[in-house]
Amino acid sequence: MVKTYALVTGGSRGIGKAIAIKLAQSGYHILINYRSDHQAAQQTLNEIVENGGSAELIPFDVSVKEAVSSALGKWHEDNQDQYISILVNNGGIRKDALLVFMKDEEWKEVIDTNLNSFFYVTRELIKNMLLKKTGRIINIVSLSGIKGLPGQTNYSASKGGLIAATKALAQEVARKKVTVNAVAPGFIKSDMTADLDEKEHKKIIPMKRFGKPEEVADLVAFLASDQSAYITGQVISINGGLYT
């Protein structure tokens, strides 16, 4: 049986974990990327295998070009007859602060992890997608990248840049049957939102609740499937009607 390989960056926890599990349920072999939390990544792998799926761990720091190149280069050496046809650029961090108080490293780390990682990882994988004339690139962006949120100038800039990159790349590769789309979650229950006052934030959401990681994963799974073949260059919000 020929495997279809899907790489999920930041796939050990939260939205990334839900995406990895959902894609595994859809029959893909999952490459679970993570930076340092091996225990969480192993737990995600165990859940996938226990439910009949297949996966492997591929640790590297998405914000470091050399680390990306080394890890993915080794994977391709070990799997010379295979290629990764689905890429979910999910890895990301927040370091919130008002711009007037923001430190250089708070700006740089967020841009490196959320935006530059897209360039490093996608560049490594897209050549094979183009050669095989099939591929799905799904970038996890944010409401912050569309609307902008105070205290998140760095995060909004990184996600806004990723949205623009999504639209540009989609036009470059469409004729080779490679699609590039972005998913923009609002407030989703995860590690990224654990420090937020959910009770207060629910007041401004028309659906009066936070979303579930599994709901984001369902949308990603559709965009990864053959049924989405004519959808590209799009930014799809999943935010309970908060901002449309």
Active site members: 155
DSSP 28: P
DSSP 175: G
Tokens of 66: 């050399």
Q: Name the residue among 115, 110, 240 with its Cα closest to residue 186.
A: 240
Residues 183 and 140: their CA atoms lie apart, in Å, by: 5
> Which value, to the nearest 10 degrees, does the dihedral of the CA atoms of residues 28, 143, 240, 93 take?
60
DSSP output for 59-126: ---TT-HHHHHHHHHHHHHHTTT--EEEEEE-------B-GGG--HHHHHHHHIIIIIHHHHHHHHHH
- Amino acid identity for residue 15 in this structure: I
